[in-house]
């Protein structure tokens, strides 16, 4: 059955087809320099393929084309401002561009949108024709909406176009960057293996950088595409049609119809509210999916007619903004679990902008160790847009053996509710391992219990919403390092017995090298190898290291023990 294919899904198969040349006389290539460019396709790094292709294509670059070169993510990790124009647009820049590409060392983030915007501004896109050629293997990682950016550049530009070449992106991932091209009248092309990637890069770059020295004759008008399926969708009956441009896109899927009228095998998929397709005449079951809402219905395609089918999703918009306290910034690490009629529906992080089915919706918003619940009875077409104040404070622990002697080891800390249950236990809230640790907690009173080798203790503290509490942890402890001659058993004991006649054990282990942390004070080091035992008194001082070597003892005489 002949069906319409989405540009992104069919791009690789269409590599052999001629693409239209870009008429712009000034252009900038933006090459992805993020860390993921070291990933391999058919045994070769993506950055290597990009370099080799640029060498081949730019070797035949027309002399009268002004071409520039920009990259991002090539200088440092975690910096969304790491964008650099390596070669300004000018005539005869082929050698400079290939040399610059050869020197790129991918390592950082993927600020796609800001890079395209800066390239457009450098080309003075509001005053003259401009083209940006984006080559990327990843998605936007710097919290800028590429679709909105593309629409803005298109509306303000004289004749602005972006072409996007995706490296090994899935269909879903491709949809998230394809709008950069589609919203500016450009093309998106995807490649999923080494051969297709080389061909796609060669074809795309060669086509988009080609500049005609003289105006080409007017092309023959292409036949107007004929569509027989033009669906629309809305959240509610009688509500406005869903349009493109938001954080989500509509997904359309069509299936065969079984003899009993039920849904059969999948046939095709396409995207966006503006989708129009051509399907073979016949019966289908077609679904419209938008966020977490979906609806499906039978559609019949009749030869010579247009099926303008409308889908009602019976859904609502849920926009939640998690805040640790009143007036604080949105917490991008917050997590939100969404339930529909008591059943799990979805999970989201940071600012929530979700489409959910109408019904009883519960949102469990968590920041650190604090969770609040919000319940909404949503009708189709409703929109909830509100801040959710979880109410947390930050507690920060720093640990020292003694003043000025920082703990570098992974000390264990566990946070307990200060209230004690009837059986004497406390509720455990959180735990972690480090000399410096922080926890986001609801307001209240707590106990922090710590343990490092033979040292342990408890510290009470309180948390206030919207405030930071610093809790210094002074262990008043030192380090004991023991060397034994032959992997002896070693145990650290108190030098005296308690009132019940018992000797307390603080820590134990085996040689030949053994180390532990102990509070300042007096101890006895007990060691044993076979029947040979020894006891050595020691004194540990806070912030100091005590090194002890246990010499090999003579074997015990018959009928006795050597001490």
Tally of structural domains, the chain: 5
Q: Do residue 36 and residue 172 come from a single domain?
A: yes
CA 32, CA 104: separation in Å to the nearest integer? 10
For the ranges 68-77, 205-214, 256-265, the lowest mean pLDDT is seen at 205-214
Q: What average pLDDT does this structure show over 287-313?
A: 95
Grade residue 17 by pLDDT with cuts at 50, 70 and 90: very low
Q: What average pLDDT does this structure show over 70-89?
A: 92
241: in domain: no
- CATH number for the domain spanning 441: value is 2.60.40.1120
Query: Residue 559 has what pLDDT?
Result: 47
Q: Do residue 252 and residue 129 come from a single domain?
A: no
Res. 423: pLDDT tops 60 = yes
Res. 205: pLDDT tops 70 = no
Query: Residue 450 has what pLDDT?
Result: 96
Q: Do residue 308 and residue 321 come from a single domain?
A: no
52: in domain: yes
Phi and psi dihedrals of 203, rounded to 5? Answer: -65, -50
Query: Closest Cα to residue 179, out of 148, 147, 157?
Result: 147
Phi and psi dihedrals of 419, rounded to 5? Answer: -70, 140
Q: Which residues contact 501 (CB under 8 A, 6 or more apart)?
A: none
Query: Residue 219 has what pLDDT?
Result: 66
Q: Do residue 523 and residue 443 come from a single domain?
A: no
Res. 18: pLDDT tops 60 = no
CA 395, CA 429: separation in Å to the nearest integer? 13
221: in domain: no
Tokens 């983030």: give the residue.
109
Query: Residue 324 has what pLDDT?
Result: 95
State pLDDT tens for residues 483-498. Answer: 987 778 999 999 998 8
Query: Residue 557 has what pLDDT?
Result: 53
- CATH number for the domain spanning 383: value is 2.60.40.10
- CATH number for the domain spanning 299: value is 2.60.40
**Helix (H) and strand (E) counts for the chain?**
7, 36
Q: Do residue 127 and residue 14 come from a single domain?
A: yes
Query: Residue 375 has what pLDDT?
Result: 96
For the ranges 20-29, 171-180, 260-269, the lowest mean pLDDT is seen at 20-29
Q: Do residue 430 and residue 511 come from a single domain?
A: no
Using a pLDDT cut of 70, give the percent of the chain over it.
Answer: 87
CA 166, CA 192: separation in Å to the nearest integer? 9
Q: Do residue 47 and residue 171 come from a single domain?
A: yes
**The two three-digit tokens of residue 186, written as one number:** 């450009």
369: in domain: yes
Res. 212: pLDDT tops 70 = no
Res. 442: pLDDT tops 70 = yes
Structural domain harbouring 340: 315-389
Using a pLDDT cut of 90, give the percent of the chain over it.
Answer: 62
243: in domain: no
**The two three-digit tokens of residue 409, written as one number:** 């080891």
Does residue 207 or residue 519 have the better pLDDT? Answer: 519
DSSP for 388-417 reads: EE---EEEEEEEEEETTEE--S--EEEEEE
Query: Closest Cα to residue 442, out of 320, 322, 325, 335?
Result: 325
223: in domain: no
Last-in-domain residue among 280, 312, 344: 312
562: in domain: no
Q: Do residue 288 and residue 411 come from a single domain?
A: no
Res. 511: pLDDT tops 60 = yes
Last-in-domain residue among 430, 446, 474: 474
Query: Residue 119 has what pLDDT?
Result: 92
Query: Residue 156 has what pLDDT?
Result: 92
Res. 192: pLDDT tops 60 = yes
563: in domain: no
Last-in-domain residue among 340, 363, 389: 389
Q: Which residues of 277-304 are buried (b: 16+ CB within 10 A; e: fewer)?
A: bebeeeebbbbbbbbbbbbbeebebeee
Q: Do residue 494 and residue 542 come from a single domain?
A: yes
Q: Do residue 505 and residue 400 come from a single domain?
A: no
Does residue 234 or residue 36 have the better pLDDT? Answer: 234
Q: Do residue 384 and residue 351 come from a single domain?
A: yes
Does residue 222 or residue 47 have the better pLDDT? Answer: 47
Q: Do residue 306 and residue 327 come from a single domain?
A: no
Query: Residue 2 has what pLDDT?
Result: 31
Res. 433: pLDDT tops 90 = yes
For the ranges 215-229, 378-392, 441-455, the lowest mean pLDDT is seen at 215-229
């Amino acid at each position: 059955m002949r069906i319409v294919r989405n540009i992104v899904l069919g791009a690789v198969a269409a590599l052999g087809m001629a693409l239209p040349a870009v008429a712009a006389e000034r252009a900038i290539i933006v090459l992805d320099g993020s860390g993921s460019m070291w990933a391999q396709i058919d045994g070769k790094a993506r950055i290597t393929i990009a370099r080799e292709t640029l060498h081949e294509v730019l070797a035949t670059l027309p002399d009268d084309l002004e071409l520039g070169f920009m990259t991002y993510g090539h200088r440092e990790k975690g910096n969304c401002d790491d964008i650099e124009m390596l070669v300004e647009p000018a005539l005869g820049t082929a050698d400079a561009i290939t040399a610059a590409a050869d020197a790129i060392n991918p390592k950082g983030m993927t600020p796609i949108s800001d890079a395209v915007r800066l390239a457009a501004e450098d080309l003075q896109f509001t005053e003259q024709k401009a083209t940006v050629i984006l080559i990327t293997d990843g998605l936007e990682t710097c919290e800028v909406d590429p679709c909105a950016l593309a629409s803005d550049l298109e509306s303000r530009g004289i004749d602005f176009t972006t072409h996007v070449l995706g490296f090994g992106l899935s269909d879903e991932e491709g949809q998230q960057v394809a709008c950069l091209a589609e919203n500016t009248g450009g093309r998106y092309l995807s490649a999923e293996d080494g051969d297709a990637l080389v061909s796609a890069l060669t074809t795309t770059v060669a086509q988009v950088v080609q500049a005609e020295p003289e105006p080409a004759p007017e092309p023959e008008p292409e036949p107007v595409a004929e569509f027989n399926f033009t669906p629309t969708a809305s959240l509610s009956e009688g509500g406005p049609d869903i349009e493109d441009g938001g954080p989500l896109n509509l997904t359309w899927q069509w299936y065969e119809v079984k003899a009993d009228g039920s849904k059969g095998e999948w046939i095709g998929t396409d995207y966006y509210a503006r989708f129009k397709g051509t399907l073979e005449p016949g019966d289908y079951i077609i679904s419209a999916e938008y966020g977490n809402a979906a609806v499906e219905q039978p559609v019949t395609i009749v030869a010579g007619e247009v099926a303008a089918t409308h889908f009602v999703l019976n859904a609502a918009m849920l926009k939640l903004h998690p805040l640790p306290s009143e007036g604080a910034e949105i917490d991008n690490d917050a997590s939100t679990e969404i339930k529909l009629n008591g059943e799990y529906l979805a999970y989201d992080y940071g600012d929530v902008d979700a489409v959910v089915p109408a019904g009883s919706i519960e949102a469990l918003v968590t920041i650190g160790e604090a969770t609040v619940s919000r319940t909404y009875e949503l009708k189709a077409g409703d929109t909830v847009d509100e801040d959710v104040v979880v109410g947390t404070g930050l507690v920060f622990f720093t640990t020292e053996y003694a003043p000025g002697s920082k703990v570098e080891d992974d000390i264990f800390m566990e946070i307990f509710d200060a209230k004690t249950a009837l059986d004497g236990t406390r509720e455990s809230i959180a735990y972690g391992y480090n000399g410096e640790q922080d926890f986001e907690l609801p307001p209240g009173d707590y106990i922090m219990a710590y343990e490092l080798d033979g040292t342990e203790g408890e510290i009470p503290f309180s948390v206030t919403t919207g405030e930071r509490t610093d809790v210094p942890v002074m262990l008043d402890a030192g380090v004991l390092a023991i060397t034994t001659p032959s992997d002896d058993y070693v145990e650290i004991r108190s030098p005296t017995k308690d009132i019940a006649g018992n000797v307390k054990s603080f820590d134990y282990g085996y040689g030949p090298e053994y180390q532990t942390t102990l509070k300042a004070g007096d101890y006895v080091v007990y060691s044993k190898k076979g029947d040979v035992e020894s006891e050595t008194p020691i004194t540990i001082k806070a912030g100091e290291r005590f090194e002890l070597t246990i010499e090999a003892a003579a074997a015990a005489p018959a009928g006795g023990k050597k001490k």
